[in-house]
Amino acid sequence: MENINESSVPARVDAEDSSTDDLQGQELLQGLEKASWHGVSLCKYKGVWCPLTVFVPTLRCEKYFKARDTDIILATLPKAGTTWLKALTFAVVNRSRYPLDKHPLLTSNPQSLIPSLEFNIYDQENENPDLDLIPDPRIFSTHTHYDSLVSTVVVESKCRVIHICRNPLDQVISLWHFMINMIGIGRFVPLDEFLETYCQGMHVYGPFWEHVLGYWNAHLKSPEKVLFLKYEDLKKDINFSMKKIAEFIGFPFSLEEEKAGLIEEIAKLCSFDKLKNLEVNKVGMHSPHIKNSYFFRKGEIGDSANYLTPHMVDRIEKVVEEKFEGSGLKF
């Protein structure tokens, strides 16, 4: 897999006039429910609160993206552990390609090594980039719901999807900090207000329960297609989780690699402390609104206890209990 970022996405081929998609998107948008979520414009598309800025890219992705059987799609809610999953998947897939002391993760933020379908690939001037030029296995990320992936990814190919979820208490606190930080768009929102919209399912790519349950149910139905991970499990035993990821995507570690300590080495390279303290992640910019450092805050389980009152915890736990009841999924 090449070191792909926004600027290296190749130009499109044989697409219709670029204005067509935009016009169709604008027309479709007219009929959709819209909301301003703490300063971020959202529209409800197929049951998902999609940021307005990536609405047209989302439509383009649905229209043009053709998954290959060898593709790997990392599907996450923001703040569930996307950056970590990107680092691990990239490092596992490319382990024979780069020596660990000259690894792209030492000089690039994991977010830019694996492009997002809606935020990078289809957010270009050219609406249909030629993704055929990217060698196998292509790795993409997405924040969208499982149902939105169905036609392009699930039905038409044998590509694999990895989902990581996180305890909603920690996730909402992580999201709250991220939103406040965003340069130019971020603004302070009292936590109780932020929490209330989250519990109502109104937040980027919400409702969170539909997002998580979509991937959970798909995993139960087709475990060979959808791997379901929990941030907390990775924290508890990263070596075991990494072996699971490697096997799932068809890059299992050999006995020799295990004996040589390669799993531990990759885990160290992708660890929070290692990545957070790299120059690129301390001073680099991910986009005009987002510093690389925003993706590395605390990286802990249970940090929410430092912010949430017992009443707030109760409010989220009630939603979680109600929405996940009978699903078999526990946080």
**Do the Cβ atoms of 242 and 175 come closer than 8 Å?**
no
CB of 183 to ligand A3P, least distance (A): 16
CB nearer to ligand A3P: pick between 34 and 282? 282
CB of 243 to ligand A3P, least distance (A): 17
**Do the Cβ atoms of 65 and 133 come closer than 8 Å?**
no
Place of tokens 């349950």: 213
List the catalytic residue out of 103, 143, 219, 286.
Answer: 143
143 catalytically annotated: yes
For residue 34, the SS3 value is strand
CB nearer to ligand A3P: pick between 131 and 175? 175
Q: Nearest-CA neighbor of 73 among 148, 127, 129? A: 148
CB nearer to ligand A3P: pick between 59 and 93? 93
Distance (Å, rounded) from C-alpha 35 to C-alpha 24? 20
CB of 170 to ligand A3P, least distance (A): 6
Residues interacting with ligand A3P, by CB under 6 A? 76, 78-84, 87, 170, 174, 177, 270-272, 275, 295-299, 303
CB nearer to ligand A3P: pick between 12 and 203? 203
Q: Which helix (H) or strand (E) holds 36?
A: strand 34-37
| Beta bridge partners of residue 43, listed in sequence order | 34, 50
Q: Nearest-CA neighbor of 215 among 205, 202, 229, 203? A: 229
Query: Which residues form the catalytic set?
Result: 143
